[in-house]
Structure 1
């Protein structure tokens, strides 16, 4: 059943609530839509109008079982965004949000069922279209970033990155030429980039068959280049730093993914790894990117996605 048909069939006899989220439109929400939005991470009205049509339809609306939502979708999204933006513990959510256990269960359910990835991909398609790009990318950039782990992180999912001298985890990203995330994977920090790139590039190939070229740094050089060409029909081009270069230098193509990594560091939840499960850390990356993309589409913080005019893609 399509999204429009599913909504129309249930909406025909539903009253018109003050909030237009699914939970309030169909009378399932236990909370009121009159919460005062006072945090910087809250969705603005312009962002909500962008986000609302892109929200995935819950399984119960399509007759696939499950319990109707008990809390306002917009309030739940604001609560998750608050955690991602401010880096607080779930238990320390302000009292004007729903109970923290319900908010955490909401975020976890969206991660497990793929609803978060669906929302993220829809937003990315909209951003690419707004920038005049085709929805299907043809080139990408891959890189990684090591972050320190909190004390609650299990030892078997963390390690020591000798090169960066960081103990914790490493997030591996594949982004398009706009810096928007195509694939993300989180491993222990001692996992080599070329080893983590094998399943990451395989996932990229399954999701985006249009991608033919991937730029990478010297950490991905070696047998991975031949493996990608033979098994995935991907051209892995290594952008190396010149031997006689000293200090900071902006390298072609590689700066795109490095900028994305700096975008993620604006979300305090991603400055240090607090997630017990690596999959939840990957979800936090997607939540952070949805915040950036919804802001850009709504014109809230255009500077967050601005590209230096002196750097050609």
Structure 2
């Protein structure tokens, strides 16, 4: 349709092409949905890597403490979870609650990636890059990292794929269905759940066997939590970060001097799409005068440039 929509389509295609390299898939929501508008996942032409929107969900085990959901933008797929967590802890304008910061720093914390379709969770190693952690995974719009406070593991994790029956020959131990034992209660599928047919394939291939116990029961929360407090963070490069007071002072000066007020990338994108649609509809009806056409086209080009600047292109 319009040039803007075609540009957005090409950007998504590039994201999908890059994810194919790690056998990962993103499911896009329809235009107009809030989650679609908030997603700033893109291909960065400067460093040649995908930059993702990542959601982190923090859930305190203390009664009465509201869960917190943090939406972070411009996270390179080459970053580790540890690097992402360090950025979250350093935010000044939108600081995390102390208990959430403690959960990020605690060696006992548990980091999980929900599967899609929702059948369970994958256990994540925060020292590994996102590119490795997201390999073979599927998510809607952006990956979700669940952070569990004060989780302690016992037992062992078996990497059965190292000794597959097809490769290891005789003596390779048969793989069992993945499971989690929590205080005597078995929560099947915490680290990847399966249907019955898939379970048989798992036994034959011997991909992964996981067995561990936690001191407290692990409760699987639903994907949508209406009670969660949302903190939307645009993560910046280290050399671009400034003190909160200095940034607020600059913003006040800009507004007083009549300078441009900062507009979010989502708002710019919405304005750009509406103008492109208006131009396309007017062109179909042949309603535009030459001068109006030139003015609208120039405005659309200006919006394109602003959006590119917000993405660092």
Task: Please indicate the TM-score interval, normalised by the length of the shorter structure.
Answer: under 0.3
TM-score with structure 2 setting the length: 0.23
Q: If each structure's helix is expressed as a fraction of its own residues, which one has the higher value?
A: 1
Which protein shows a greater Rg?
Answer: 2
Q: If each structure's strand is expressed as a fraction of its own residues, which one has the higher value?
A: 2
